[in-house]
Amino acid sequence: MLRTVVPKNARSKRALEARAPKEIESERTTIFVRGSHTGDVLNSAMKDLMLLKRPHAISFSKKNIIHPFEPDGISSLEFWSNKNDATFFVVGTSTKKRPNSLTLVRTFDGKVLDMCELGVTKFVPMEAFKVSVEKIQLNEGLTYHSIQ
């Protein structure tokens, strides 16, 4: 049997209504997290990705000691997902074995669905192109499709 949460005051009622399923869902929020070690290439790549997702993007300014593929890292991502109502994460880390890696994380209902790690080898910033950011009309940078 499913447990139903009954609000005890008006504030908790508004919070439950905001998290309840809607007929037209709000835009998905993306959180950009810098790992403990990130270089200039990775920081500028994350900054350009954030410009494309701008009104619905949150950038964590402090460096976070996070390893997304370990259980502690997954629990941190799930906590941040619930706290900020975010469904997508971009985690930038740089280690000796994997320099300049971006980890893309999808969540659903506060749980991590899947992760994809990408390596940044050559990066050209958006300033190198003559098109302004306002003229770019992109909804999603990556699209995931499932078979089922």
pLDDT at residue 131, rounded to an integer = 66
Tell the burial category of 11 from Cβ atoms under 10 Å away from its Cβ (0-12, 13-18, 19+): exposed
CA nearest to 94, candidates 25, 44, 144 = 44
pLDDT at residue 54, rounded to an integer = 84
Q: Between 148 and 119, where is the model more confident?
A: 119
Strands 101-108 and 88-93: antiparallel
Structure tokens, 85: 């109502």
pLDDT one-digit tens code per residue, 91-109? 999 988 888 899 999 998 8
- In the structure, what pLDDT confidence band is assigned to residue 132 with cuts at 50, 70 and 90? low
Does residue 90 register a pLDDT over 90? yes
Structure tokens, 78: 């799930």
pLDDT one-digit tens code per residue, 18-77? 878 788 877 888 999 998 888 889 989 999 989 888 888 988 888 888 888 898 889 998
Q: Rounded CA gap, 92 and 45, in Å? A: 9
Alpha helices by DSSP H, the chain: 10-19, 40-52, 71-84
- In the structure, what pLDDT confidence band is assigned to residue 88 with cuts at 50, 70 and 90? very high
Does residue 6 register a pLDDT over 80? yes
Residue whose pair of structure tokens reads 């619930």 in the numeric block: 82
Indicate yes or no: pTM above 0.85: no
Collapsed DSSP state (helix, strand, coil) of residue 66: coil
pLDDT one-digit tens code per residue, 66-77? 888 898 889 998
Structure tokens, 45: 């790549």
Q: Which residues, in sequence order, are bridge partners of residue 92? A: 34, 102
